[in-house]
């Protein structure tokens, strides 16, 4: 069984309990990934882990080399990628502390290198993106959450904005009218690049704050970090269950 890869976001700099076996420093046609990819064992399961923002530095969302990250993970032959995203909640069910396993995306980003298709081979790399997340990998996440008795939302629309600034209240109202349930900054072009690379990809969204204009307090990093600390532990529990099921498949 090929190992899964985990892409960590804000609050998931390391995987607690991961026994790192080796680091993979991979050069790609698109430059270097955010940092060396860790190969390790979590319990009895081998996996790969990549922090998309780098570490100890912090690469902002619009400067992440998404193409290099996905290319490097594909070159390692991963069975799939589970991305962890910190997001703001828009709809009433997406309160801080909630986990969402989204099934749809609305992409508001711009200016990012969003495709491997450079046009040099004379063919167009059209991909079916009707379902932006891999159905089987999403189902595996949902079953793992149910088995581990982890409260979660099984469907939702992930809106992705450019960053690094947070959104205005009016922008959040627009996202709500567009049908977005949560808002983040790193879900695209990551998901589309994984589809181009033919690597199954799914996301776990951690709601760490109410989106702009929907809470009583100003949005601060301190507020988000407090929620992140508690949610990160729940996400690790979910990943542990997923990896155990994957290893036993």
pLDDT tens for each residue of the chain, 249 residues long? 789 999 987 666 666 777 889 999 999 999 999 999 999 988 788 899 999 998 777 899 999 999 999 999 999 999 999 999 999 999 999 999 999 999 999 999 999 999 998 777 767 778 999 999 999 999 999 999 999 999 999 999 999 999 999 999 999 999 999 999 999 999 999 999 999 999 999 999 999 999 999 976 666 666 667 787 788 888 888 998 998 877 665
Q: At what angle are helices 135-147 and 221-248 packed, to 10 degrees?
A: 100
Contact 232, 12 (CB under 8 A): yes
Q: Residue 217's pLDDT is what?
A: 64
pLDDT of residue 229: 79
**What pLDDT sits at residue 144?**
96
Q: For residues 96 and 201, is the Cβ–Cβ distance under 8 A?
A: no
- Do the Cβ atoms of 88 and 208 come closer than 8 Å? yes
36 burial type by CB count under 10 A (0-12 exposed, 13-18 middle, 19+ buried): middle
Q: Of 202, 203, 167, 186, nearest to 89 (Cα)?
A: 167
Q: What is the rounded CA–CA span in Å between residue 7 and residue 13?
A: 10
Tell me the CATH number of domain 4-110+131-248, given options 3.40.50.1580, 3.40.50.2030, 3.40.50.12710, 1.10.3210.10.
3.40.50.1580
pLDDT at 155: 97
| Every domain of the chain and the residues it spans | 4-110+131-248
- Asked whether 209 and 95 are in contact (CB, 8 A), the reply is no
Residue position matching structure tokens 């969302």: 61
* pLDDT at res. 82: 97
């Amino acid at each position: 069984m090929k190992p899964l890869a985990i892409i960590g976001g804000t609050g998931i700099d390391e995987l607690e309990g991961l026994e790192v076996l080796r680091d993979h420093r991979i050069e790609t046609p698109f430059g270097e990934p955010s940092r060396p990819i860790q190969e390790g064992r979590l319990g009895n399961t081998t996996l790969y882990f990549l922090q998309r923002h780098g570490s100890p530095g912090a690469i902002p969302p619009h400067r992440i080399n998404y193409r290099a990250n996905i290319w490097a993970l594909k070159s390692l032959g991963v069975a799939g990628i589970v991305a962890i995203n910190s997001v703001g909640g828009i709809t009433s069910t997406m309160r801080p502390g909630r986990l969402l396993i989204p099934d749809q995306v609305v992409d508001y980003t711009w200016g990012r290198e969003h495709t491997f298709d450079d046009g040099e081979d004379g063919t167009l790399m059209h991909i079916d993106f009707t379902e932006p997340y891999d159905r089987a990998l999403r189902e595996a996440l949902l079953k793992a959450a149910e088995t581990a008795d982890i409260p979660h939302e099984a469907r939702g629309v992930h809106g992705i904005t450019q960053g690094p600034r947070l959104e205005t209240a009016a922008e959040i109202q627009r996202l709500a009218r567009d049908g977005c349930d949560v808002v983040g900054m790193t879900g695209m072009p990551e998901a589309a690049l994984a589809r181009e690379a033919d690597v199954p990809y799914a996301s776990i969204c951690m709601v760490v704050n109410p989106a702009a204009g929907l809470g009583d307090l100003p949005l601060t990093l301190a507020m988000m970090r407090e929620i992140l600390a508690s949610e990160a532990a729940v996400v690790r529990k979910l990943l542990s269950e997923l990896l155990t099921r994957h290893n036993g498949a």
